[in-house]
Amino acid sequence: MEIRLATFFDLPVIMEIIADGRASLKAQGSPQWQDGYGPDEDQMTKDVANKFCWVAIMEGSIVAVASLVEGIDPVYTAICGRWMTVDRKDYVSIHRVAVSKNFAKKGIAQKFLAALINNAEKKGVKDIRIDTYPENFPMIKTINALGFSYCGQVEFPIPSGLRNAYQLVTQ
């Protein structure tokens, strides 16, 4: 698997993969990313412009997308629980993770996120945060497998906005 920053040329494929993720969540009975509250083209365009959006490539095709967002996430400041490093302000947050339906259930998300974490660590990032809907069991399994620790819950200002929040602190 190769990872790289997304380009504007990747946006049509990125949006297809986001649609796959939305459909998968709906099939699980999850309200996450439903009713217009998931990532849209405007958000993904901003992520590409800010150099936050990454893609995973296998067999010459983009198979997954995620945004590695730098800076303080305002929603994360109001955690019900406690971050492991409350004073640290130099963390990155992983958001908008989706895998192509053609590559689902093959461990792609875990490999992709592991590569993103490794890339962040090489750049000196020692604090990585992620969240997911409390009943998104496949993502929770992936997050736990990557060594993240559960820290509490955050709530996005949208319907069904409650999310489990996790943190990975490296040396």
DSSP at 10: G
Residue 72, H or E segment: none
pLDDT in tens, 26-67: 999 999 999 999 999 999 999 999 999 999 999 999 999 999
State which of 47-51, 121-125, 156-160 shows the largest mean pLDDT: 47-51
Q: What is the pLDDT of residue 50?
A: 97
What's the average model confidence in pLDDT over 155-160? 93
For domain 2-169, give the CATH number: 3.40.630.30
How much of the chain exceeds pLDDT 70, in percent?
Answer: 98
Q: What is the dihedral of CA 75, 40, 47, 9, to 10 degrees?
A: 170
d(CA 135, CA 115): 25
Is residue 87's pLDDT more than 90?
no
Residue-range domain boundaries for the chain: 2-169
The model carries a pTM of 0.94
Does the CA dihedral 98-103-105-109 come out positive or negative? negative
